[in-house]
Amino acid sequence: MTVLGAEHGEQPTLLVATPLEPELVERIRREAPGVEVLFDPELLPAPRYPSDHRGDTSFRRTPEQQGRLEDLVRRADVVLGVPGETAAGLRDLVAGAPRLRWVQGTAAGAGQMVREAALDADTLRRVTFTSSIGVHATQLAEWAVLGLLYFVKDVPRLLRDAEARSWPHYPVRELRAQRLVVVGLGHIGREVAHCARALGMHVTGVRRRPSESDLSYVDEVAVLADLPDVLERCEAVVLALPSTAATDGLFGAELLAAMPEGGVLVNVGRGATVDEPALVAALRSGHLCGAALDVVATEPLPPDSPLWDLDNVLLSPHTAALSTQENERIVDVLLDNLHRLAQGRALRNVVDTEHFY
């Protein structure tokens, strides 16, 4: 990455291009005094809820406002967020920012947006992209545990009994001592493992290239090639994978069949990593007890998707990561990276532009 300031003076210029609370903008100015911060909330859509980075989708800039935004973009060495939070917005941003050297994304999956933007090689060399990996780990791990408990404690049956005004007595399973496989041991996967072990589960972590340090988070570790054997010994799986050429469609009929009958699958990574027709078949046959999905292959989930009609599916509209504290944590990442930049250290959460995660 080109050192900011080397070409354009000593003070890098940061453009806040995402809806952000004014007090957080002031915090950036206060804690990074060597950075010029550009922020004009009139040029950004109003957030629909706390930590909404896309904002009101009906928002349209006037020609005068668009001109003002383009002027700010041309001045920026660093940008926080992407206007509209879309691949097209990212393409427009880098095309209109000749000084741009670094984009700090607001999403953990910022690499997917970079991939979809299909930027040319010169741009990928010129601009460094960093994600907000780690910001969403706590809330996603909590939702993963919710998904596991939802089916282990048979909440679908409780809902059916309530609708029928029925009051039967029956035993339910325990999460303690169950065997969980966490596929993907990034920030989210490690936090899932931490929560699961606290509940007494035995956790196997799976990743492309495990290391000895992984054993501080899980009871044992395996590589992706071991999945068929590992899955035979588990009661539940949590997917915390990015969408890449190597992971898209990874969980298909073969791996789902490898899971023991009555297993539970939770996906808090990316919907593209699961073969949905194969998952629906496994749920309908009863081979899987249930699936808790915060993500699906096509979002929003199409109205004709069979996933809507299965009572052994818990759906969340890709909102499990959202938190009222999210913007504060994203600013934490930004400030850490600004300080690293000033000290000549490597940035945190740099997107791999070969695999795009």
- Looking at every residue in the chain, the average pLDDT score rounds to 95
The verdict on 75 and 148 lying in the same domain is no
Residues 143 and 176 in one domain: yes
Q: What is the pTM of this model?
A: 0.88
Same domain, 190 and 294: yes
Structure tokens at 177: 């001592």
Same domain, 167 and 69: no
Mean pLDDT of the 91-111 span: 95
pLDDT in the model for residue 210: 85
Q: For residue 212, name the pLDDT band (cuts at 50, 70, 90).
A: confident
Residue 229 pLDDT greater than 70, yes or no: yes
For the stretch 262-312, pLDDT in tens is: 999 999 999 999 999 999 999 999 999 999 999 999 999 999 999 999 999
Q: How far is CA 33 from CA 9, 106, 258, 287, in A?
A: 15, 22, 55, 58
**Top-confidence residue, 75 or 355:** 75
Instruction: Say if 347 falls within a structural domain.
Output: no
The rounded distance, in Å, linking the Cα atoms of 288 and 11 is 57
What does the alpha-carbon distance between residue 43 and residue 69 come to, in Å, rounded to a whole number?
Answer: 7
In a domain, 2, yes or no: no
One domain, residues 332 and 257: no
Q: Give, in order, the Cα–Cα distances in Å from 193 to each of 184, 206, 273, 292, 353.
A: 10, 11, 20, 17, 28
Among residues of the chain, what percentage have pLDDT more than 70? 97
- Does 7 score more than 50 pLDDT? no
Is residue 193 within 8 Å of 185, Cβ to Cβ? yes
How many Cα atoms occupy the beta-carbon half-sphere of 173 within 13 Å?
A: 20
> Which pLDDT does position 154 carry in this prediction?
97
CB 321 within 8 A of CB 188: no
Distance of CA 98 to the CA centre of its chain: 29
Instruction: Let me know whether 304 and 229 are in one domain.
Output: yes
283 falls within a domain:
yes
Query: Residue 189 has which token pair?
Result: 């996967």
Structure confidence at residue 13 (pLDDT): 98
State mean pLDDT over 140-164: 98
Residue 211 has pLDDT above 90, yes or no: no
Q: Look at strands 13-16 and 78-80 and give their pairing.
A: parallel
The CATH number linked to 161 is: 3.40.50.720
Q: Decide: 175 and 148 in contact? Cβ < 8 Å.
A: yes
Per cent of the chain over pLDDT 90 is: 92
| 60 lies in the same domain as 199 | no
Question: Token pair of 97, please?
Answer: 């920012």
Residue-range definition of the domain harbouring residue 159: 137-315
pLDDT of 4: 52
Q: Backbone dihedral region of 13: left (phi > 0), alpha (psi from -120 to 50 degrees) or beta?
A: beta
Q: Is the pLDDT of residue 132 over 90?
A: yes
First to last CA, the chain: 17
Residue 105 within a domain: yes
- Which range is most confident: 5-9, 107-111, 224-228? 224-228
Active site residues: 270, 299, 318
Sequence-ordered alpha helix ranges (H) in the chain: 22-31, 63-75, 87-95, 110-117, 121-126, 137-152, 155-163, 187-198, 227-231, 253-258, 276-285, 326-342
- Whether residues 335 and 197 share a domain: the answer is no
Domain identity same for 76 and 112: yes
Mark whether 55 and 99 lie in a shared domain.
Answer: yes
- Give the pLDDT score at 357: 84
Question: Do 150 and 102 belong together in one domain?
Answer: no
Q: Looking at residue 201, what is its pLDDT?
A: 98
Joined tokens for residue 24: 């957080």
Residue 1 lies in a domain: no
How much is the average pLDDT of 337-351?
A: 96
Q: Is residue 4 part of a domain?
A: no
Number of domains into which the chain is organized: 2
